[in-house]
Amino acid sequence: MRSMTGYGKAASNNEWFTVSVEIKSVNNRFLEVSVRLPKELSSEEILIREYLKGKVTRGKIFVYVNLEKTQQEGKELFIDWQAAEQKVQMLNTLKEHFQLDDSVKLNHLLMFPDLFTMDLQDLIEEQIRPLLLEALEKAASEFLKMREQEGANLKLDFQKRLEKIERLVNEIKQIAPDNIQHEFERLSKNVNNLIGEQKVDAGRLEQELAILSDRVDITEECVRLKSHIDLFKKTIAMKEDIGKRLNFLLQEMHREANTISSKTTMLEISHKVINVKEEIEKLREQVQNIE
């Protein structure tokens, strides 16, 4: 079982380059991968996306990649003409705005070192991509390890809350027969208050009251609730993605608790059901973190 929140960071380098990869994630209903790359590595976005899709199934994943050139001697440099044209336009705009007489000169452009860079296209496949993959694998390993650790902590919390719910359900089930008798006596008292001294068929009245009282039997709901708890326990022991299944089970558990609440006026049972629903709600909040 893994959490949807995690973080990992790693870097790989050689004589010429250093590639660092940072991965972090937050909760999300589906899988969404956002990749931020330097423009030199924009072609590698699909590779990163496909790699992570093979590792995770849910969560909003943010990936940040940084490329540093540690050495350039002996490597051919080239001019980024598009960037150079933009810089010239900017300088001319400043000149016109401030009504300057000077014209744009070469020494002005030399103030922008990003105009001169290495021709990376020939180097990506040979040198940079292996570094990227190595850093990505290391960062992803750390990232997944953290998600698993968070998942283990959540699992312990789940087990603790399930034990409390199970104990409460067992207590409710033990006093379920008292609920039927309580409802029978309550309905009988209400009917007698309504009819007063009027004569009624006592046998028929008792029969109708018994039918009504039987409708407030909560034994079946307790059995189903216990079954959902057992299935929840089995599910959190699985290794595959379980977040959606746990959400469904909690919906069913909440529905059974509501049904029990609607079938009783006994304060003892009502208070226990409130506690059950509180624990279910806490489980629901935690399940939102599960992949």
More confidently predicted of 5 and 210: 5
In angstroms, rounded to a whole number, what is the distance separating the alpha carbons of residues 8 and 23?
A: 5
Same domain as 20, residue 48:
yes
Same domain as 153, residue 215:
yes
Which of 39-43, 58-62, 170-174, 247-251 is predicted least confidently?
A: 39-43
Q: Is 199 part of any domain?
A: yes
More confidently predicted of 69 and 31: 31
CA atoms within 13 A on the CB side of 63: 29
Helix (H) or strand (E) holding 22: strand 17-26
The whole-model pTM stands at 0.66
Same domain as 189, residue 125:
no
Q: Is 253 part of any domain?
A: yes
Same domain as 88, residue 68:
no
Q: Is 36 part of any domain?
A: yes
Question: Could you tell me the residue range of the domain that residue 89 belongs to?
Answer: 77-116
Q: Quote the pLDDT of residue 74.
A: 47
Same domain as 131, residue 41:
yes
Q: What is the pLDDT of residues 159-217, one digit of tens each?
A: 999 999 999 999 998 887 777 777 666 766 766 666 665 665 566 656 666 666 667 78
Same domain as 210, residue 87:
no
More confidently predicted of 124 and 260: 260
Mean pLDDT of the chain: 85
Q: What is the pLDDT of residues 223-246, one digit of tens each?
A: 999 999 999 999 998 877 788 899
Same domain as 61, residue 44:
yes
Q: Contact, 285 vs 277, CB < 8 A?
A: no
Q: What is the pLDDT of residues 86-109, one digit of tens each?
A: 888 888 888 888 888 888 887 877
Q: Is 249 part of any domain?
A: yes
Give the angle subtended at the CA of 215 by the CAs of 209 and 218, to the nearest 5°: 130
Q: Is 1 part of any domain?
A: no
In angstroms, rounded to a whole number, what is the distance separating the alpha carbons of residues 67 and 176?
A: 67
Q: Quote the pLDDT of residue 250.
A: 95
- 84: pLDDT confidence band, cut at 50, 70 and 90? confident
Chain mean position to CA 250? 16
The tokens describing 123, both together, are 């180097």
Q: Is 25 part of any domain?
A: yes
In angstroms, rounded to a whole number, what is the distance separating the alpha carbons of residues 222 and 172?
A: 8
> What's the Cα-to-Cα distance from 177 to each of 24, 153, 185, 218, 266, rounded to whole Å?
53, 39, 13, 8, 12
Same domain as 221, residue 109:
no
Same domain as 251, residue 229:
yes
Same domain as 155, residue 263:
yes
| Number of domains composing the chain | 3
Which of 28-32, 133-137, 277-281 is predicted least confidently?
A: 28-32
Which of 5-19, 20-34, 98-112 is predicted least confidently?
A: 98-112
17, burial (CB in 10 Å: exposed 0-12, middle 13-18, buried 19+):
buried
β-bridge partners, 10: 21
Same domain as 155, residue 256:
yes
Same domain as 94, residue 69:
no
